[in-house]
């Protein structure tokens, strides 16, 4: 429904309300989070606990500690690689 409503607004000079803009921003964040969770935890239609979860947990911890994004990515990659090497 929101996509149908966006068409006339985008074509005209009419702007979305601040509340609608906030909802759009939250929707994009929620969709991205759902994609990350699905790709991390879902393996062939079932729950899969593997090295990606360890990498995601390390990245989340680094973000909570306010590490720079490059450091977060590097830590997550190293944690994932070490977990895969250790557990096969």
Q: Tens of pLDDT along 18-69?
A: 888 888 888 888 998 888 788 877 767 677 778 888 999 999 999 999 999 9
Read off φ and ψ for residue 47, nearest 5 degrees. -70, 130
Statement to judge: residues 55 and 82 lie in one domain = yes
Statement to judge: residues 39 and 56 lie in one domain = no
- Domain residue limits at 28: 1-44
Statement to judge: residues 19 and 39 lie in one domain = yes
Statement to judge: residues 30 and 58 lie in one domain = no
- Structure-token pair, residue 16: 């979305």
Residue 85 pLDDT greater than 80, yes or no: yes
CA angle 68/64/40 to nearest 5° reads: 90
Statement to judge: residues 8 and 36 lie in one domain = yes
| pTM for the full predicted model | 0.60
User: How many alpha carbons lie under 13 Å from residue 74 in its C-beta half-sphere?
Assistant: 5
CA angle 40/44/50 to nearest 5° reads: 40
Residue 6 pLDDT greater than 90, yes or no: no
Number of domains in the chain: 2
- Structure-token pair, residue 37: 């969770």
d(CA 58, CA 52): 10
Residue 5 pLDDT greater than 70, yes or no: no
Statement to judge: residues 67 and 32 lie in one domain = no
């Amino acid at each position: 429904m929101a996509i149908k409503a966006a068409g006339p607004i985008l074509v005209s000079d009419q702007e979305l309300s601040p509340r609608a803009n906030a909802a759009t921003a939250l929707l994009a964040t929620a969709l991205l989070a759902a994609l990350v969770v699905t790709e991390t935890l879902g393996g062939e239609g079932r729950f899969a606990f593997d090295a990606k979860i360890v990498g995601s947990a390390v990245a989340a911890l680094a973000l909570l500690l306010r590490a720079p994004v490059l450091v977060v990515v590097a830590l997550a990659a190293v944690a994932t690689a070490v977990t895969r090497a250790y557990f096969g």
